Amino acid sequence: MNYKNFPMVPRVIFGRGSFNQLSEIISPKRLSSAAPFIYLVDDVFKSNSWLTSRISLSYDDRIIYISTKEEPKTSQVDTLVEEIILSTKARPSGIIGIGGGSVLDLAKAVSIMLTNEGETRLYQGWDLVKNPGLYHVGIPTLSGTGAEVSRTTVLTGPDKKLGINSDFTPFDQVVLDPELTKDVPCDQWFYTGMDCFIHSIESLKGTYLNAFSKTYGDMAFNLCQEVFLNNSALSKEETEDKLMMASWHGGMSIVYSQVGIAHAMSYGLSYVLGTKHGIGNCVVFDHLEEFYPEGVQLFKKMKMKHNIELPQGICAQLSEEEMDAMINIAMGLEPLWENALGKNWKKRISSKQLKSLYLKM
């Protein structure tokens, strides 16, 4: 057996208001006055001085606001990297991502692409990155994806949606300040939170599970139940704190295992219809009782408790070609199916079954 040796985030700070310590944390990493820190910030914060006024800019430091209407693309990373190279006198001291999974992934990818040649799409895959990226810091403002802790950055390229999985991808520093999530709208809170719940179920029910993944998966699973079923009447602050830690544990759990069927099928939806990750996972998971009976039952309970209405019939208008493309994308994610259904997964799932599942969504 050849066990994988994973990198982890080497430094993390947790606490309400810990965002105020950012400048103290990063200042020793400044390489020179000509080497700025570049902040990639979700544009939802553009007019939110509560957050942006606390970013202290020195020398040539700058904020680039990022639209998250669509999920990150390899071409978007290329454009950002070019813009940064053209506008700075020296290679930046670091990249700081402030936002949900989309902005965190962009920050990781930009840090890598500032030190590696060629186009971003060439690095989609496993261990294709040659040089360490720039110092990069992740500051989540939305909890659930686990992007703050993972070894990948998920990008849509010209011919696939696939992460840059590498030892250089994880953040050098993460700031976990649950207060930053206080204004997330309820439906988005639910969708991204369910991403974490689904990570825990797919990891815990998968064949790749080991004790390392199980301990993290159990933690994420229990925290999500506390947060989303909230039978112990937690305060808003407590749910924010707990969901941020659930996200971390969910991410840690899949480091050593894998996600499963909901993610495979949701990648198909995303590629063909542009459905975003959180809501796409919810739409799919709602129909997977055959594979994850206990998890889906809990999911439906949570959905009801928070009055969440998922879109219906999103695949009804697809052409034959689009449906085939969707099935191919989903089926192509072999490790996800193998984790979910075992080595003989090809005998346990067919294109026909996938099509009938998609048509229910």
Of 195 and 240, which has the nearer Cβ to Zn ion? Answer: 195
Of 188 and 222, which has the nearer Cβ to ligand NAD? Answer: 188
State the number of binding residues for ligand NAD (CB under 6 A): 30
Q: How buried is 71 (Cβ within 10 angstroms: 0-12 exposed, 13-18 middle, 19+ buried)?
A: buried
- Three-state DSSP at 10 gives coil
CB of 262 to ligand NAD, least distance (A): 12
Q: Could you say which of 26, 39, 40, 71 contacts ligand NAD (CB under 6 A)?
A: 71
Of 44 and 333, which has the nearer Cβ to ligand NAD? Answer: 44
> If you write DSSP's letter for every residue of 259-294 in order, what string do you get?
--HHHHHHHHHHHHH---HHHHHHHHHTT-TTT-HH
Does residue number 277 form part of the binding site for ligand NAD (CB under 6 A)? yes
Does residue number 188 form part of the binding site for ligand NAD (CB under 6 A)? yes
Q: Please list every residue from 315 through 344 that binds ligand NAD, using CB under 6 A.
A: none
Does residue number 192 form part of the binding site for ligand NAD (CB under 6 A)? yes
Nearest by Cα to 145 from 333, 277, 7: 277
Which residue type sits at 337? W
Query: Hunting for tokens 């480091």 — which residue is that?
Result: 255
Structural contact between residues 137 and 92, judged by C-beta atoms closer than 8 angstroms: no
Of 102 and 213, which has the nearer Cβ to ligand NAD? Answer: 102
CB of 312 to Zn ion, least distance (A): 22
Does residue number 195 form part of the binding site for Zn ion (CB under 5 A)? yes
Query: Cα–Cα distance between 67 and 123 in angstroms, integer?
Result: 23
105 binding partner (options ligand NAD, Zn ion, none; Cβ < 5 to 8 Å by kind): ligand NAD
Does residue number 71 form part of the binding site for Zn ion (CB under 5 A)? no
Q: Provide the total of helices (H) and of strands (E) in the chain, helices listed first.
A: 14, 9
Q: Could you say which of 94, 97, 100, 193 contacts ligand NAD (CB under 6 A)?
A: 100
Structural contact between residues 32 and 90, judged by C-beta atoms closer than 8 angstroms: yes
Q: Which of these segments, 3-11, 184-192, 231-239, 282-290, binds ligand NAD (CB under 6 A)?
A: 184-192
CB of 1 to ligand NAD, least distance (A): 25
- Three-state DSSP at 209 gives coil
Of 32 and 79, which has the nearer Cβ to ligand NAD? Answer: 79
Alpha helices in the chain (DSSP H): 22-26, 49-52, 74-87, 101-113, 186-204, 211-229, 236-256, 261-273, 277-285, 293-305, 320-332, 334-341, 345-348, 351-360
Structural contact between residues 170 and 8, judged by C-beta atoms closer than 8 angstroms: yes
Does residue number 75 form part of the binding site for ligand NAD (CB under 6 A)? no
What would the two tokens of residue 73 be? 């693309």
The residues binding ligand NAD (CB under 6 A) are 42, 44, 68, 71-72, 99-103, 105, 141-142, 145-147, 150, 152-154, 180-181, 183-184, 188, 192, 195, 276-278
The residues binding Zn ion (CB under 5 A) are 195
